[in-house]
Amino acid sequence: MGILDPWRGFLITFATMFRKTFTQGYPQKGKEKVTEARYHGRHQLNRWPDGLEKCVGCELCAWACPADAIYVEAGENTEAERYSPADRYGKVYQINYLRCIFCGLCIEACPTRALTMTNEFKLADRSRLSLIYTKDELLADLLEGMEAPPHPRRLGEEREYYRGLPSTGADIRVVLPKADKVESNEKEDQS
By the rule CB under 6 A, 109 interacts with ligand SF4: yes
Report how far Cα 41 is from the mean position of its chain's Cα atoms: 8
Give me Rg for the CA atoms of the chain.
23
Size of the site for ligand SF4 (CB under 6 A): 27
β partners of residue 43: 117
Among 42, 48, 77, 110, binds ligand SF4 (CB under 6 A): 110
Classify the C-alpha dihedral 23-27-29-30 as positive or negative: positive
Q: Which of 52, 114, 138, 139 binds ligand SF4 (CB under 6 A)?
A: 114
* CA atoms of 135 and 91, how far apart (whole Å): 8
Q: Using the rule CB under 6 A, which residue among 39, 50, 67, 140 binds ligand SF4? A: 67
Q: Pick the closer one to ligand SF4 by CB: 35 or 185.
A: 35
Q: Determine the 3-state secondary structure of 151 from DSSP.
A: coil
Task: Answer yes or no whether residue 50 interacts with ligand SF4 by CB under 6 A.
Answer: no
58 touches ligand SF4 (CB under 6 A): yes
Which residue, 15 or 172, is less far from ligand SF4 as judged by CB?
172
- The yes or no reply on residue 137 touching ligand SF4 (CB under 6 A) is no
Q: Which of 51, 52, 95, 149 contacts ligand SF4 by CB under 6 A? A: 95
Q: Among the candidate windows 28-36, 58-66, 133-141, 183-191, which touches ligand SF4 by CB under 6 A? A: 58-66
Q: Is 59 in the site for ligand SF4 (CB under 6 A)?
A: yes
DSSP lists the bridge partners of residue 93 as 72
Nearest Cα residue to 100 out of 40, 27, 35: 40
Please state, in angstroms and rounded to a whole number, the distance separating the CA atoms of residues 79 and 71: 26
How many other CB atoms are found less than 10 A from the CB of residue 152? 13
Binding site for ligand SF4 (CB under 6 A): 55-61, 64-65, 67, 69-70, 72, 90, 95, 100-106, 109-110, 112, 114-115
